[in-house]
Structure 1
Amino acid sequence: MRYLKVLWCHELPDEPVELYSELNDAGYEIRKVEIYRDGRRDFADGESFSGTTMLGEGALPSLEEIAEQDEFSPSVIEAAEFERVWHQVVGRTRKA
């Protein structure tokens, strides 16, 4: 497994500004969290989702390819950071 955090710098009010992805060895998303400028947080996994967040249909581009686009700042993160964000979002969402 690999874990990515991507900061998306834009002015679109209905699009996320932080994206967290858990990827399998082939580069496909297994779980994803999106965080919006207004504080809203959504998630998706193979069984459920919130808001408009969905898993990508194909493999994610490489970190280098993502970084080539000026509006994106990608970084590899540890599994523990992804799990912390995931549990904050999913725990809050499923309790509601």
Structure 2
Amino acid sequence: MEWYQRVEWHHGFDEEPIVIYSEIDAKGFETRKVEQFRDGSTTFADELTATGSSWLSEVALPSLEEINEQSEFKAEPIAASTFEGVWRSAHEERG
């Protein structure tokens, strides 16, 4: 069973994403990801495609609780439909 999450990353680096949306498989590995940057641009990755600096993690992701233990992150679950909307928008942006 897949699940979806949104992670805000609070930092001052312009070249790093500020929001990361992930689709995660039953074993905890990303299958799709969208990264949103401070300027509003997005990049994305899946098993076949990667844009910009986005790539899928090669290791299982930590739990939401573990992510939230780090003060620079705020992680929350999101609905599949929310992820799909973000995924579609990222693809449309790339034209």
Q: TM-score, normalised by structure 2?
A: 0.97
Task: Report SS of the residue matched to 2:22.
Answer: strand
Matched, 1:8 2:9: yes
The reply to whether residue 17 of structure 1 matches residue 15 of structure 2 is: no
Whether 2:18 is the aligned partner of 1:33: answer no
Structure 1 SS opposite 2:18: strand
Q: Unmatched 5+ residue regions in structure 1? A: none
Q: What do residues 7-30 of structure 1 show as CA deviations (whole Å, max 9, x unaligned)?
A: 000001100000000000001000
Show the counterpart of 1:68.
69
- 1:25 partner letter: A
Deviations 1:42-78 (A, max 9, x none): 0000000110100000100011100000000000000
Pairing 1:42–2:43 present: yes
1:91 positional shift? 2.4
Work out the percentage of aligned pairs sharing the same amino acid: 45
Separation in 1 of the partners of 2:90 and 2:41? 9
Letter in 2 for 1:32: K
Structure 2 counterpart of 1:59, one-letter code: A
The aligned length equals 94
Hey, what's the Cα distance between the residues in 1 that align with 2:40 and 2:88?
Answer: 16
Identify unmatched segments of 5+ residues in structure 2. Answer: none
Q: Structure 1 CA distance, aligned partners of 2:55 and 2:11?
A: 20
CA deviation after TM superposition for structure 1 residue 92, in Å:
2.4
1:81 equivalent to 2:82? Answer yes
Q: CA RMSD in A?
A: 0.6
Report the counterpart of residue 90 of structure 1 in structure 2.
91
Task: Find the aligned partners of 2:66 and 2:5 in 1 and give their Cα distance.
Answer: 13
